[in-house]
Amino acid sequence: MSGPSGTEPTRSLVTIDLAAIRHNARALRDVLDGAELWAVVKADGYGHGAADVARAALDEGATALCVATVAEGLALRRSIAGRPRVLVMGPTASADVASAREAQLELAVSGDTLPEDIPLHVKLDTGMGRWGMAELLRPNRDVVGLMTHFASADTDEAFTRRQLERFLAATSDHRQLLRHAANSAAALTVPESRLDAARCGIALYGVDPFGRDSALHGLRPALSWSSSVAQAKLLEPGAGTGYGRRFVATRLTWIGLVSRERSEEV
């Protein structure tokens, strides 16, 4: 397909700026003021490339990596030297515990029966209403951390503070364990939530968790996307475009078709 002028369209290009990842890691470490930065690299680093993002964050002082599944953790173990701390934040099937143990991963857990001989982080449900214990059981020798998950740190600071109060009350007798609760939004705006470590995802990639300009928090977007208009065409009133005709023109309307062929540069 040629462009409007008959020239060959430029292919769609996604560029990942690892220098921006490093910059954001430094900015977050400054904000955390002594709390550890744990880099969330689940879902292939939010599409940025988990291994590359992990290396960049570790280079700038992140002390742990957070993933969603054991499979993601195993992939990092194969690609990251030095065996950094890796926490699997999602539920782990019993069939996967042996692999996680062998790879020296750490598991977030919620339940009466806890795996043995592997570092565990007990998750409390303080208001998210999803996976997590309603009450903290007496930690066993394998428990190294206590955690919770904020439901609305980007939209409801008052509720976030209530969640934090519940978490602190439930864990006050176990301060010898590592406690972590803050996500990106809480780390940036609720200082008391930073505790021993903060699990930062979206801010690490330079996206403002509040939907504003990321520069307000000293962050730089790490992903950019450029493409070209492969064809421009004029729709008559009543004409539709795309599957299902989800858009139907009500008046003369110019539309542009954007190239989708994708490549990546890191």
Instruction: Kindly name the residue from 42, 46, 123, 205 that is annotated as catalytic.
Output: 42
Which amino acid belongs to residue 104? Q
| Residue carrying the six token digits 């977030």 | 108
> What is the enclosing helix (H) or strand (E) of 29?
helix 18-32
Assess whether 243 carries a catalytic annotation: yes
Strands of the chain (E only): list them: 12-16, 36-40, 64-67, 85-88, 106-109, 120-124, 143-148, 178-180, 197-200, 223-226, 229-235, 240-241, 247-248, 253-258, 262-265
Within 172-224, residue ranges assigned H as helices are 184-189
Instruction: Kindly name the residue from 123, 205, 233, 243 that is annotated as catalytic.
Output: 243
Assess whether 42 carries a catalytic annotation: yes
Q: What does the alpha-carbon distance between residue 122 and residue 145 come to, in Å, rounded to a whole number?
A: 6
Active-site residues, by number, are 42, 243
